[in-house]
Amino acid sequence: MTFILIAAGAIICAVMAIRAGRLLTSALWLAATSALVALLMYMLGAPEVAVIELSVGAGLVTILFVFAINISGEEATNLKSALPKPLAWVSILIFFILLGYFSLPAFLQPLPEAQIIPLKTVLWEYRSLDVVLQAVLIFAGVLGLIGLLAEEKPGQEKEHQA
Amino acid sequence: MTLSISEIILITVILLLGIGFYGLLAVRNLIKVIVSLQIMVKGMMLGFVLAGRLAGNVSLGQSLAILVIVVDTIVAIIGLALAVQIRRYAGSLDVKALTTLKR
């Protein structure tokens, strides 16, 4: 019952994040979704990733959203849909059917025996390349951010105008 | 009919992915597009943890979910920085107003 309540809460928060009229409200609903998903992860027996999701997904990313909305300003979000609504709904229906078709057979197979391997062993020994990739991605992200948000120097502006 | 925990989580994953996908298709504000993308990724992270649990190796699912969190955060940062710059130069966050392919 607890699982159903939390899962329903996460889905309602996600719907509200899409439907919210203001961008700031949308960001706050997203943070609530993130917190509830983290709670589900914790209850599934994955506490490490739940903590990271709660601090990064619900904390850092929300702050970034609020910061970005503060800089760019609120704008009307209740614009007409980019795609015709019937086409969007048909796409969603096809998406659900395909996802169900590919994921449900996993439940019909007998489950393998549980292996208890500590996370640090998996992370640092089996999937060490992932850790290197994460470090590279973080550096690439920081460099990309510096490049995107860099202010033009006065000299460069003149060069562009010339 | 009682649903098992795995079935409840699977339904949640599918619904979160569907809601995010609908947002990507229907929403026109650039920041809301990033919100939709975040919702999809949250569903996928939950899916990784569930897959790890079903396969009997939760740690593997957790390590993949951590990778997804890092990638997702970087995507959000770069996307928001792009949105700020686009707003600064184009004056709008409407994705339809930004396209130059169809007039």
* Cβ contact A53–B82 (<8 Å): no
- Kindly write down the DSSP assignment for every residue of chain A, as one continuous string: -HHHHHHHHHHHHHHHHHH-SSHHHHHHHHHHHHHHHHHHHHHTT-HHHHHHIIIIIIIIHHHHHHHHHHHH------PPPSS-HHHHHHHHHHHHHHHHHHHTHHHHSPPPPP----HHHIIIIITHHHHHHHHHHHHHHHHHHHHHHPPPPHHHHHHHH-
Residue B22 inside a domain? The answer is: no
User: Using one digit for the tens of pLDDT, what is the confidence trace for A67-121?
Assistant: 888 888 777 666 667 677 788 888 888 888 888 788 777 666 776 676 777 777 7
Tokens of A133: 């990739």
What does the pLDDT average to over B82-96? 82
* C-alpha distance from B7 to closest chain A C-alpha (Å): 8
Please state the domain count of chain B.
Answer: 1
Q: State the residue range of the domain holding B74.
A: 29-93
* C-alpha distance from A38 to closest chain B C-alpha (Å): 8
DSSP A46: -
Residue B72 inside a domain? The answer is: yes
Residue B52 inside a domain? The answer is: yes
pLDDT score, position A158: 55
Q: Is B94 helix (H, G, I), strand (E, B) or coil?
A: strand
Residue B79 inside a domain? The answer is: yes
Tokens of A124: 């640092």
pLDDT score, position B1: 67
pLDDT score, position A140: 86
**Mutation for B interface: A79, A83, A137, most B CBs within 10 A:** A79
